[in-house]
Structure 1
Amino acid sequence: MSRTDTPTLTGERADLLEALAHHRTMLRVTARDLTDEQAGLRTTASELCVGGIIKHVTSVERVWTAFIEDGLSALGDVTDMTDEDWAQRADEFRMLPGETLAGVLDAYERVAARTDEVVRGLPDLDVSHPLPEAPWWEQGGRWSARRTLLHVIGETAQHAGHADIIRESLDGALSMG
């Protein structure tokens, strides 16, 4: 089925995907007209850069979409991360040598399309999986596809705001200006 043959969604599922699409767009707009070098620049006290934020949001969305599909196995053991795991996670937040903004945005677009496809194909949004045992989640907690999607929307919105601040500090451009 091609994208044009996809049935139109309505109701809650459509609203959630529309909210996510809006925040994705705001994040992409923040990166407009940046060079690869600018996308990797830190402009605040944090380690964040626009390209790194897009990489991080891509990873977050990829992992949580896999959780919707496959459950706990998609998250790995979050309580037993090695130094190498932490270093790899830190690399999500910066542009590495050889990475381009176009490549980062392309990866984000592919993950977004996959998320939309998964959400469209779910039998319902109540499908749920247990969360891993970790101090930052309720013991014995479960997240439905709905709750997981709300988490992705929140992460995307929060990080779009971070990117906007970084971009404004970089060259004065605003996502909504």
Structure 2
Amino acid sequence: MAGTYTSVGPSVDVTGEKLDLVTILADQRGMLAITARGISDEQARRRTTVSEFTLVSLIAHVASVIRGNVTMLEERDENSTVDFSGSGEPEAPESIEQVLAELDSAGRALEQCIAALGSLDDLIPQPTAPWAPERIWWTARRVLLHLLREIAHHSGHADIIREALDGQSTMGVVAGDMGLEF
């Protein structure tokens, strides 16, 4: 797909700003998936930083965050709160292939959700949380831009984990795919 680092493209037929958002979100998920290319299940479970996250648990976390945002965009629950049960990101039980398949599935659900949105200006109630005890409303656009930032943040963390595993960087893989040295 022109204008992206990955060959990942949208799974829905949208135009305009929705196409831009779907494309960049798909590309960012594709970059995260590249981080795990060529990694064994054992490597994907290895901690390489002081963080509790491993590649498999970090990718599972991102898939879960995407699913949570789809639910928020679709349900628009004015009584939702951030659920801290299960926080601490326990090691995902799935293989790296299963976690990547879940990331892909969550991404397709997100794209379908974006396609179904009436308008990116629709107001979406945000869950209350200790850091945001009062209900606030964001546009669907802001929710999606925040999600993009969240995926990018975790992609950077995943890249650090991968580099500590075997010295490979995501951009190194992308450059290699293009026949370039990085």
**Aligned match for 1:101, one of 96, 100, 113:** 96
Name 1:52's counterpart in structure 2.
57
Match of 2:44 among 39, 55, 75: 39
Aligned CA-pair RMSD:
2.3
CA contact 2:72–2:126 (8 Å) conserved in 1: no
CA contact (8 A) 1:53 1:163 kept: yes
Task: Mark the CA change 1:138 to 1:18 in structure 2 (over 3 Å): closer, same or farther.
Answer: farther
Contact kept in structure 2, 1:39 and 1:49, CA below 8 Å? yes
SS, match of residue 72 in structure 1:
coil
C-alpha displacement at 1:21, in angstroms? 1.1
How many residues get paired?
Answer: 164
Higher RCO (C-alpha 8 Å, min separation 6):
1
TM-score by length of 2: 0.81
Question: Per-residue CA shift, 1:85-144, capped at 9, x if unaligned?
Answer: 1xx23245x233xx2011111111111101001101111112222223334237341022
Contact 1:131 1:137 in 2 (8 A): no
**Structure 2: 5+ residue stretches without partners:** 1-9, 173-182
Q: TM-score, normalised by structure 1?
A: 0.83
- How much identity, in percent, do the aligned residues show? 39
Q: 2:52·2:89 contact (CA, 8 Å) conserved in 1?
A: no
Structure 2: distance between partners of 1:146 and 1:109:
21
Query: In the alignment, what sits opposite 1:65?
Result: 70
Question: Gaps spanning 5+ residues in structure 1: where?
Answer: none
Segments of 4+ moved more than 6 angstroms: none
